[in-house]
């Protein structure tokens, strides 16, 4: 699939006058269209809901756009729960809490928000009970079938190596425990393979889960009311790859639904927790070439680094790069194309956005558009070498630009240092000043999560 930047060099030059590189930019139009396409593909299922995986892009403005398109959220931690509730006013059934190794505070907050809690392990049910948190009307369990997950004989994932979920026997016992605690509506969840750029993953997973819930109904008389297919649908990171067809995926799940569930007189709602498929293609990291180095290879040094986008460095992941304003056609043998390693400035040799990549000749000052960074991009950022997180910008539908997260400053980086000169009144004043936005929000929007929102039993 041809990779085209969703923004031009001229626009980037304009933006860079106000927001220095590196920065993330997201395409609102693309995000909305993708959300609509997903909803349409599963519209045959009246209860269908996409719960956007917040970990992919924990940026309130983006989550609000998805909320407007009818999506809920999948949260995994206390902070993610708080973020969606405080900044996006999301609560109740619009949140699935799919956590693992879950601290007490996280379960308490999930309960207060009325989220659908998805237990990762059978032992968590006793733990949850021991915390004195009431069980809710609607709860979920995560399944791990073990072995290898195969599609048409090909291994797509190794659930037996994954830390998540419960075995077949455990999940049945878990539902019985939940029923004994008064739970009335049950869900099943599984995530068996990641970044699946094919139309078969969801239908194959659905088949596995639909068969299991028929078995559960027959064996223990518990009817599952929703099946959460979680995340895992991929995107074509490389121009040589083709995108999935979400309608074919939706129809593939429907086929399994009709064959397995309808035949057994069962009806369920289908849920998804897509992250990558919803956002990856609609976010880019924009960075500027600041140095060129020639030793045994040619290196282009850019002002972003793995601390801004770590996927290439930790997974060896491919992210396509377009040099804005230059001919990025795949004409690899034109004289002024060169082979580069595109590198960031971390003291880590893995800090490379591309290795031996053919690109149009790069001049210092050129802007590079690093594609497909909209999911698991900014969110995985870190501060190694004191590198600071960049700003996030939104390219709105009218093509104007809005800052949706400012860039970190050194003061942010120093803000958690304690006991240095904090007793100094000036330092204290600075700390309060830095936190003023959070403090103001707290007073302007009294915590809507401070009281239990739903009566759960």
CA distances from 56 to 211, 273, 306, 420 (A): 30, 10, 16, 35
Q: Please identify, among the stretches 48-56, 327-335, 385-393, 401-409, the one whose residues bind ligand PLP according to the rule CB under 6 A.
A: 48-56
185: nearest Cα among 137, 244, 229, 235? 137
Using the minimum distance from each CB to ligand PLP, give the nearer residue, 17 or 163. 163
Helix (H, G, I), strand (E, B) or coil at 118: strand
Q: How far is the CB of 98 from ligand PLP (least distance, A)?
A: 4
Q: Please identify, among the stretches 270-278, 310-318, 358-366, 395-403, the one whose residues bind ligand PLP according to the rule CB under 6 A.
A: 270-278
CA distances from 100 to 103, 119, 297, 445 (A): 9, 8, 43, 30
Q: Return the exposure string of 188-224: e unless at least 16 CB atoms fall within 10 Å of the residue's CB, then b.
A: bbbbbbbbbbbbbbbbbbbbebbebbbebbeeeebeb
**According to CB under 6 A, which one of 31, 56, 216, 246 is a site residue for ligand PLP?**
56
**According to CB under 6 A, which one of 191, 226, 237, 353 is a site residue for ligand PLP?**
191
28 is a contact residue toward ligand PLP (CB under 6 A): no
**According to CB under 6 A, which one of 77, 198, 230, 287 is a site residue for ligand PLP?**
230
Q: Please identify, among the stretches 102-110, 179-187, 224-232, 331-339, the one whose residues bind ligand PLP according to the rule CB under 6 A.
A: 224-232
**According to CB under 6 A, which one of 58, 60, 72, 232 is a site residue for ligand PLP?**
232
Helix (H, G, I), strand (E, B) or coil at 375: coil
Residue number of the CB closest to ligand PLP reads 231
Give the binding-site size for ligand PLP (rule: CB under 6 A).
Answer: 17
Q: How far is the CB of 227 from ligand PLP (least distance, A)?
A: 14
**DSSP labels for 122-135?**
THHHHHHHHTTPPP
Q: How far is the CB of 107 from ligand PLP (least distance, A)?
A: 16
**DSSP labels for 165-202?**
SB-HHHHHHHHHHHHHTT--EEEEE----SSB-SSSHH
Using the minimum distance from each CB to ligand PLP, give the nearer residue, 12 or 274. 274
For residues 67 to 86, the per-residue mask of contacts with ligand PLP, x marking binding by CB under 6 A and - elsewhere, is -------x------------
**According to CB under 6 A, which one of 57, 59, 77, 98 is a site residue for ligand PLP?**
98
311 is a contact residue toward ligand PLP (CB under 6 A): no
Who contacts 211 (Cβ-Cβ below 8 Å, separation ≥6)? Answer: 260
Q: How far is the CB of 26 from ligand PLP (least distance, A)?
A: 15
For tokens 């000043």, name the residue.
433
Using the minimum distance from each CB to ligand PLP, give the nearer residue, 190 or 391. 190
321 is a contact residue toward ligand PLP (CB under 6 A): no
Using the minimum distance from each CB to ligand PLP, give the nearer residue, 196 or 225. 196
For the chain, the residue count is: 457
- Cα-only R_g, the chain: 24
Question: How many Cα atoms occupy the beta-carbon half-sphere of 181 within 13 Å?
Answer: 23
194 is a contact residue toward ligand PLP (CB under 6 A): yes
**According to CB under 6 A, which one of 25, 109, 204, 375 is a site residue for ligand PLP?**
375
Q: How far is the CB of 186 from ligand PLP (least distance, A)?
A: 18
Phi and psi for 36 in degrees, rounded to 5?
-65, -40
Task: Report d(CA 54, CA 226) in Å as an integer.
Answer: 20
Q: Token pair for residue 127? A: 């733990």
Who contacts 179 (Cβ-Cβ below 8 Å, separation ≥6)? Answer: 186, 222
User: Is residue 293 packed enough to be buried (19+ CB in 10 Å), middle (13-18) or exposed (0-12)?
Assistant: exposed
120 is a contact residue toward ligand PLP (CB under 6 A): no
Q: How far is the CB of 360 from ligand PLP (least distance, A)?
A: 31
Q: Which residues bind ligand PLP (CB under 6 A)?
A: 53, 55-56, 74, 98, 191, 194-195, 230-232, 273-277, 375
């Amino acid at each position: 699939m041809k990779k085209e930047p969703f923004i031009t060099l001229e626009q980037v030059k304009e933006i860079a006058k106000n927001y220095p590189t590196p920065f993330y930019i997201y395409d609102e139009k693309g995000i909305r269209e993708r959300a609509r396409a997903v909803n349409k593909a599963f519209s045959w299922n009246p209860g269908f809901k996409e719960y956007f995986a917040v970990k992919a892009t924990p940026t309130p403005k983006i989550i609000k756009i998805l909320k407007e398109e009818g999506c809920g959220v999948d949260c995994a931690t206390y902070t993610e729960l708080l973020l969606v509730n405080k900044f996006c006013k999301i609560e109740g059934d619009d949140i699935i809490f799919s956590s693992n190794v879950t601290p007490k505070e996280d379960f308490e907050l999930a309960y207060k928000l009325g989220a659908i809690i998805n237990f990762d392990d059978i032992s968590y049910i006793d733990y949850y009970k021991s915390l004195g948190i009431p069980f809710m009307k609607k709860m979920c369990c995560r399944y791990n079938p073990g072995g290898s997950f195969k599609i048409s004989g090909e291994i797509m994932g190794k659930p037996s190596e994954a830390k998540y979920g419960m075995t077949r026997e455990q999940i049945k016992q878990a539902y019985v425990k939940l029923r004994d605690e008064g739970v009335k509506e049950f869900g099943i969840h599984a995530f068996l393979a990641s970044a699946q750029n094919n139309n078969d993953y969801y239908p194959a997973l659905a088949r596995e889960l639909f068969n299991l819930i028929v078995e559960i109904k027959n064996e223990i008389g518990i009817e599952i009311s929703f099946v959460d297919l979680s995340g895992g649908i991929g995107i074509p990171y490389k121009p040589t790859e083709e995108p999935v067809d979400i309608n074919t995926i939706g129809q593939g799940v429907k086929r399994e639904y009709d064959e397995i569930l309808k035949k057994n007189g069962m009806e369920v709602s289908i849920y998804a927790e897509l992250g990558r498929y919803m956002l990856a293609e609609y976010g880019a990291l924009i960075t500027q070439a600041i140095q060129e180095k020639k030793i045994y290879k040619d290196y282009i040094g850019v002002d972003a680094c793995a601390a801004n986008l770590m996927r290439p460095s930790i997974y060896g992941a491919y992210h396509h790069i377009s040099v804005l304003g230059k001919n990025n056609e795949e004409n690899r043998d034109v004289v002024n194309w060169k082979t580069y390693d595109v590198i960031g400035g971390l003291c880590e040799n893995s800090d490379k956005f591309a290795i031996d990549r053919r690109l149009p000749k790069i001049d210092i000052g050129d802007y590079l558009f690093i594609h497909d960074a909209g999911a698991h991009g900014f969110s995985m950022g870190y501060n190694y070498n004191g590198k600071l997180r960049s700003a996030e910008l939104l390219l709105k539908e009218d093509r104007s630009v809005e800052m949706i997260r400012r860039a970190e400053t050194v003061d942010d980086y120093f803000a958690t240092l304690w006991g240095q000169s904090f007793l100094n009144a000036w330092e204290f004043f600075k700390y309060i000043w830095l936190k003023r936005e959070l403090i103001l929000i707290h007073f302007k929007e009294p915590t809507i999560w401070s009281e239990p929102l739903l009566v759960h039993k």
